Structure 1
Amino acid sequence: MLLSHNEENNFSLTRFESMLKTNDVLFFDSEEFEDIINHYLENGKIALAKKAVKLGLAQHPTSTNLKLYKVEILVFEDKLDLADGLLNELYDLESSNEEIYIQKANIFSKRDDHEKAIEMLELALEISMDEADVYSLLGMEYLFMEDFENAKFSFMKCLEADEEDYSSLYNIMYCFDFLEQKTEAIDYLNMFLDKNPYCEVAWHQIGKQYFDLKDLEKALTAFDFAIISDEYFIGAYLEKGKVLEKLGRFHEAIENYKITLDLDDPTSFAFLRIGKCFEKLGENELALEHYSKTVHEDPLLDKGWIAITDFYYKKKNFQKALYYINKAIAIDEENVLYWKRYAKINSRLGFFEEAERGYQKTIDLGNYELETWIRRCDILINLGEYESAIQNLIQAVEFYPETAEIEYRFAGLYFNLNEGDKGYFHLNNGLKIDAEYYIIIEELFPKIFCRKSVKEMINSYLKTS
C-alpha cells in the first residue's frame, strides 16, 4: 500500500524522534531530512532542526539543500559571518540556486543593508520558479526602507502570482493607507474583485476604505458581500456593527456583534461595542453588564475601564466613577488616560490634593496637553500653593510660549506673592496676546482684579482692541 506524502512525513518524523531517544543510527534519504527540518523550523523547534541538519549532513555531506538549511539556522542565530562563508562556498558550486541569493538577501537585511538585499532578491527573481515568494520578500525589504510605492508594486506582483495570498493583499492595503491613497485603493480592490468576486478579504478591505471616507452605505454593502462570501468571517460582522452604530441603527449593530460571540470565543471588543450601543439606547443595566464583561474578558483593555468610569461620571455618580478608575489604576498605574480621569473625578468631589496628584502623574507620564498644566495650576491655586503653581507654569510655558491662559495665571500668582513687577509684566503679556482672556484674573484672583491699577491696565487694552 502506497503512503501519502503526509503519512510519509509523519513516519519519517516518528523514526527520527525514536532514533534520538534510543541513540540508534537510522538512515534517511536527503529529502526525508529536508522534510523533517522544515517541519521543525515551521513549528519553531530550532534545537531539533539543528540536530536534524547535523545528522543529515553527516549522512549526506554534499547536499546543497541541507547546507542551505544550516545557513538558515545560522542566520536565525545571528551567526551571520559563518552563514555568509558557507553561502560563498555554495555559490562557487551552484550559482544558479535561487535559495543562495535569498539567504544572501536575508543576511544583508539582518545587517540593515536593504539595498543590497534587494539586489540579491532581484537576482533570485531572474532564476526563480516561485516568483510569489521572492516578490513577497522584496516587498518586505521595501517596507523596511519605507519605500511604499515599490513595496506596493512588489506585493501586487506577488498577488498576481498567487491570488489567495491574503497577507500580500493586507500589505498592499497597508501601503495604500500609509500613502493616503484611498481612491486608488478602492480602484485596485474593485479590479481585484472583478476577477475574484467571492474574496471576502477584498470585500472587507474595500468596506474599510469606504468607512474611512465616511461613505457608510457603500461600506455596509461591502461588509454584506464579505459575509455572503464567508458567513463565518468575524471581522466583517465587527466592521458591519461599527457602520450600523455610525448610522444610529444600534439594535442591528448589537445583532452583528452578538454573532461574533457565537462564532468564536467572546472578545472584549464585541462586549464593549454592545455596551456602547445599549448605553445609547438608554438600556443602562445592559450597558453596565456588557462593560463588566469587557473588563472581565480583558482587564488590560483600558477602553473597558474608561467606559464604566465615564458611564458613572456622566450620571454624576462620582463615587462609583472613582471606585472603578481606582481599580483600573491598580491594574495599570502607567496609563495616562486613567490618571486624567482620576484627577478630574477627584476635582469634582472636592478632593483637591488627590486631583493635583492625578494631574502631576499624567505630566510625569508624558501628557503635556495645555489643559493638564492649566487644571493642575488652578488646583494648586485653590490649595494656596502659589510657588508650586508658578513652577508648574514655568514648565508649561516651555511647551506653550505666548499663551494667554498661562500669562494671566502668572500675573495673578506673582501679584499674590507681592512681586508686582513680574505681575504687571505677565499681565501685559496676556493682554497683548488676547485681551478678552482678562476674565481669568477676574475668576481666579478676584481681589487682584479689584485693584485700580490692574483694572486701568485691562481697560486701556480693551479700548484699543
Structure 2
Amino acid sequence: MDKNQHAIQLMKEQKYEEAAGIFNAIIEANPDDPIGYINFGNLLLHINDTERAERFYNRAIELDANAATAYYGLGNLYYDKQDFPKAQKRFLQAIEIGLEEADAYYLLGMTFFHQEDYKLALPYLMRATELDSEETEYVFQYGLSLAQSDHIDAAKPVFNQVLELDESHSDAHYNLGVIALFEEDLQSALDHFDQALAIQPEHVLAANAKKQIMDVWHNTDL
C-alpha cells in the first residue's frame, strides 16, 4: 500500500489528523504532483473546511488542467453549498476530460434537477443509471425527471425498476400511484398509496392523495 492509499484508508477510519500529515508529506515531497493536492482537498472537504479545499483543488488544476478529479471535487464542494450553476460547470468539465463515473453524471443531472431543468437533467441521469443500474437513488431520480418532463409512460417502468431494487421505496409507490391517477385507474392508485403509507405512515402526499380518492368514492356512493 503506497502513502496515498494508506492516507485514504486512514480517512475512511476517520483518522483525519494522521491522514492530513501523510498528505502534507506527499505534497512536500512532490510539490508539482496534483494528486496530493486533490487528496488533501478531498480530506478538507470531508471535514467541511471548504475554503481550504477549494484552494487545494484549484492548485491541482493549475498544475494539471486535465485533472478531472479536481474538477469533480470542486463540483461536490459547490453542490454541497447548493451553488448548482457552479457545480454544474465543474462536473461537466470533469466529464468532458474523461471522468466516466456514475456519480459524476448523477450529480451533474441533479444540478439541473434542483434548478427545475428536468429535461436537461434527463440525459445525465439516464447515463448514471446505465453506468450503475443497481443504485436505487440514480434510478429513482431518473424516473422522477421523466415524470416531471411529462414522459409519464417512460417513467412508469423506471419506478417499477426502483421497487425491484428496493421494495420498501415509499416514494416509488407514491409516484406509481400518481401515474395510475393519470391513467384513471383509481384502484391501482389507491393500492400504491396504501403501500406507501404502510412503509412510511407519515407520507403526507400519499395520505392526501388517498383521502382524495376516498372522497371521490364516497361522493359517488351518495
Q: Look up the match of 2:189.
A: 423
Kept after mapping to 2: 8 A contact 1:321/1:345: yes
Alignment of 1:388-399 (within 5 A): 388-399=154-165
Structure 1 unaligned spans of 5+: 1-204, 206-234, 458-465
Establish whether residue 316 from structure 1 lines up as the match of residue 82 from structure 2: yes
Task: Output one character per residue of 1:302-341: Cα deviation in whole Å (capped at 9) or x when no partner.
Answer: 3x33211111122332211111111111122632111111
Establish whether residue 439 from structure 1 lines up as the match of residue 204 from structure 2: yes
Task: Output one character per residue of 1:125-173: Cα deviation in whole Å (capped at 9) or x when no partner.
Answer: xxxxxxxxxxxxxxxxxxxxxxxxxxxxxxxxxxxxxxxxxxxxxxxxx
TM-fit CA distance, 1:240: 6.2
Sort the Cα spacing of 1:402 and 1:318 in 2 relative to 1 into closer, same or farther, 3 A: closer
Sort the Cα spacing of 1:434 and 1:283 in 2 relative to 1 into closer, same or farther, 3 A: closer
Alignment of 1:108-123 (within 5 A): none
Kept after mapping to 2: 8 A contact 1:238/1:257: no
TM-fit CA distance, 1:375: 1.9
The CA distance in 2 between the partners of 1:266 and 1:374, in whole Å, is: 42
TM-fit CA distance, 1:282: 4.0
TM-fit CA distance, 1:354: 1.5
Alignment of 1:42-441 (within 5 A): 235=2, 239=6, 243=10, 246-249=14-17, 253=20, 256-264=22-30, 266-276=32-42, 280=47, 282=49, 284=51, 286-295=52-61, 296-297=63-64, 299=66, 302=69, 304-332=70-98, 334-401=100-167, 403-431=169-197, 433-434=198-199, 436=201, 438-441=203-206
**Between Structure 1 and Structure 2, whose CA radius of gyration is higher?**
1
Kept after mapping to 2: 8 A contact 1:409/1:441: no
Partner SS, residue 201 of structure 2 = helix
Task: Output one character per residue of 1:390-438: Cα deviation in whole Å (capped at 9) or x when no partner.
Answer: 122233333334643322221221012212232233334444x425154
Kept after mapping to 2: 8 A contact 1:241/1:253: no
Using the size of structure 1 for normalisation, the TM-score is 0.39
What count of residue pairs does the alignment treat as equivalent?
A: 215
Residue type of the partner of 2:199? D
Structure 2 unaligned spans of 5+: none
TM-fit CA distance, 1:262: 4.0
Using the size of structure 2 for normalisation, the TM-score is 0.75
CA RMSD of aligned residues (A): 3.6
Kept after mapping to 2: 8 A contact 1:261/1:270: yes
Kept after mapping to 1: 8 A contact 2:84/2:114: yes
The CA distance in 2 between the partners of 1:316 and 1:387, in whole Å, is: 31
The CA distance in 1 between the partners of 2:210 and 2:178, in whole Å, is: 9
Sort the Cα spacing of 1:299 and 1:386 in 2 relative to 1 into closer, same or farther, 3 A: same
Residue type of the partner of 1:400? D
Establish whether residue 453 from structure 1 lines up as the match of residue 214 from structure 2: yes
Residue type of the partner of 1:314? D
| Identity in percent | 12
Kept after mapping to 2: 8 A contact 1:360/1:376: yes
Kept after mapping to 2: 8 A contact 1:336/1:367: no
Residue type of the partner of 1:453? M
Residue type of the partner of 1:299? N
